[in-house]
Chains A and B, each alone.
Chain A
Amino acid sequence: MRKRRHSPPPDSPPEAALQGDSWQVVRIRAGDVADVIRLDHRVTGLAKPDYWRDMFERYGRRRLGERMFLVAKTVGPGTLPDVLGFIVGEVRAWEFGSAPCGWVLALSVEPQARLRGIGKALLGALAAEFKKAGVNKMRTMVARDNQLHLLFFRSEEMMAGPYIELEKELD
């Protein structure tokens, strides 16, 4: 049975840290950014170091009450990387009239560590942060062909919302 710890380790800000058998969910720290860059590179095939450094500055350092950048970190020695997964979220309001809502902006789990509940724990920790920020709805936008993301969010009982994403090539 997975343990849930409600007091965070002294060096990490989130109030609800979730701990698995050998990992826990905490707020990102500067030392984790390189691992996030590597993990995202492995998962997407694209290296985006500047993007993730900027995301860390925007979501990991400022306005932390409404912006969340959480990582699942290995606890103790082992063969797995330090950062096993990450999730980024933000409370946004009044875009096209939408009431304040928690947006899940990114989520990835280390391929070797999937299907152990890490994604679920990351989303659970983010949802807890959203609730603390006073919102009671969570939303995300996923690629139609990203079956893993879709299966995952659906298994969390997320349904299609009232918005449709539209786009166009700019000439």
Chain B
Amino acid sequence: MKLHVSSRLAIFALLELAARPEQQLSVAEIGEKYGVSSHHLAKVMHVLGRAGLVRSARGAGGGYQFSGNARRMTLLDVILLFETLESQNHDPAVGELSEEGHALREVMSEIDDIIRATLGSITIATLHKLVRRQRERRPRRTAAAS
């Protein structure tokens, strides 16, 4: 499964902001770290703002601040703001009404269920712990990248 680029950016931005809830970060600062244009990221931030997960701060430099609950916000909550998962896509697939189509669907829905359960059980706070673990495992590489 590949996440839509907006979902990925949203998760990265939330990780950055949730790690420094007192601070404001600008779209440019976040964009620079992940190598994306401020233009694309600004659209993502707008959606996150509308969902109440971030707050835009006015004034010079006007950045964003985290306003959600990182321990309760799951990756699925964030992703569903930007895309639908396969299991929610109700467009009929080729051959779906045949017995073969049903059998194939049964197999594919196993995968969908696991995706849903996985994304729905990892919160931003949990992902943050996993980031820390990566950092501990690969201290040199991360230091070089940041």
Among B113, B114, B121, which residue has its beta carbon within 8 angstroms of that of A154? B121
Which residue of chain A lies nearest to B132 when distances are taken between CB atoms in the complex? Answer: A157
- Does chain A have a CB within 8 A of B53? no
Q: With the chains together, A124 CA to B106 CA distance in Å?
A: 38
Given A154-B126, A155-B125, A155-B126, residue A160 in contact with residue B118 (CB < 8 A): yes
- Chain A nearest CB from B107 CB (Å) reads 13
Task: List the B side residues contacting A147 at CB < 8 Å.
Answer: 120-121
* Residues of chain B from 89 to 146 with CB closer than 8 A to chain A in the complex: 113-114, 117-118, 120-123, 125-126, 129-130, 133
> Is A145 located at the chain interface by the 8 A CB criterion?
yes
Q: Does A105 contact B (CB under 8 A)?
A: no
Contact B113 A157 (CB under 8 A): no
Residues of A within 8 A of B113 (CB): 144
- A150 CB → nearest B CB, Å: 3
- Other-chain residue from A144, A151, A157 in contact with B129 (beta carbon distance below 8 A): A157
Give the contact-size bracket for chain B: 10 to 19
CB contact under 8 A between A150 and B126, given known A144-B113, A144-B114, A157-B133: no
Interface residues of A, dominant DSSP: helix
A155-B72 Cα distance, complex, nearest whole Å: 11
How distant is B58 from chain A, measured CB to nearest CB, in Å?
A: 35
Taken together as a complex, chains A and B put the C-alpha atoms of A154 and B129 apart, in Å, by: 10
User: Which bracket fits the contact residues of A?
Assistant: 10 to 19
CA distance A157 to B126 in the complex (A): 7
Please pick, from B71, B74, B130, the residue contacting A157 in the complex, using a CB distance under 8 A. Answer: B130
Contacts of A151 in B (CB 8 A): 74, 121, 123
Interface readout for A148-166 with B: 1 if CB under 8 Å, 0 if not?
0011011101001000000
- Known contacts A157-B130, A157-B133; decide if A144 and B117 are in contact (CB<8 Å): yes
Residues in B with CB closer than 8 Å to A145 are 117
Pick 24 A–B contacts, CB within 8 A, sort by A.
A144-B113, A144-B114, A144-B117, A145-B117, A147-B121, A150-B117, A150-B121, A151-B74, A151-B121, A151-B123, A153-B121, A154-B121, A154-B122, A154-B126, A155-B71, A155-B123, A155-B125, A155-B126, A155-B129, A157-B126, A157-B129, A157-B130, A157-B133, A160-B118
**Chain A residues close to B by CB (< 8 Å):** 144-145, 147, 150-151, 153-155, 157, 160
Q: A145-B117, A153-B121 are in contact. List 7 more A-B contacts (CB 8 A).
A: A144-B117, A151-B121, A154-B123, A154-B126, A155-B129, A157-B126, A160-B118
